[in-house]
A = this chain, B = another copy of it.
Amino acid sequence: MATDRRINKSKQALKDALILRMETSDFKKITITEIVQHANLNRGTFYKHYDTKEALLEELIDDVMCDLIESYRAPYLHSDALVIKELTASKIKIFEHVYSYSKFYRAIVSSNAVPGIQHKISDVFKQLSRDDMEILGTTSNVDRDFVSSYYAHALLGLILEWINSGFKYTPAYMAEQLIAIVTFPGADVKLKQG
């Protein structure tokens, strides 16, 4: 049996309320009273699940990171290997993910509530990138950590730029941009040579 419905609902309501408040207010200034008011829950319910608002935020971040990983892996869920050339924009779900959590990302990235959040996101990307290479079975002598870190931060950069633009482009457009950058013939090599 999964966790009780009421628990999930209550926790989700608290997380939604936290995101809502973080849109306009600094995390440090948000009170638990505020959160439960917006979540339409009794204060006792908060304390039944969390000790502090920091614990709530931590779990919220975990949730988003899990969904992020799921979205990243979505294109090749039913295939053994990821073939870059066959990767179409429609298959890239990661921008859809960011867009669906746009309020969260906008708040969390601009906030100083979680100092290492960008590092955390890029770490997730890095690990995902490494997993890709395991699947592909790269045999070259290039250090995998360099490659994964390179692509992880590149993707993060693209997303940060998108966030800072106020999400004025569609997820589909962002996916097209990513494809265009990655598949631009010999771009990497030329840069390395020059």
Contacts and interface: CB of A to CB of B under 8 A. Distances in A.
Give the number of copies in the complex: 2
A192 interface: no
Interface string A1-37: 0000100010000000000000000000000000000
Contacts of A40: 5, 9
A56 interface: no
A5 B45 CA distance: 12
A2 to B, nearest CB: 12
Contacts of A41: 5
Contacts of A5: 40-42
Interface string A33-56: 000000011100000000000000
A42 B1 CA distance: 14
Contacts of A9: 40
A5 B40 CA distance: 8
A6 to B, nearest CB: 9
Contacts of A42: 5
A160 B181 CA distance: 50
Interface in A152-182: none
A12 to B, nearest CB: 10
4 contacts: A5-B40, A5-B41, A5-B42, A9-B40
Interface of A: 5, 9, 40-42
Closest 4 CB pairs of A and B: A5-B40, A9-B40, A5-B42, A5-B41
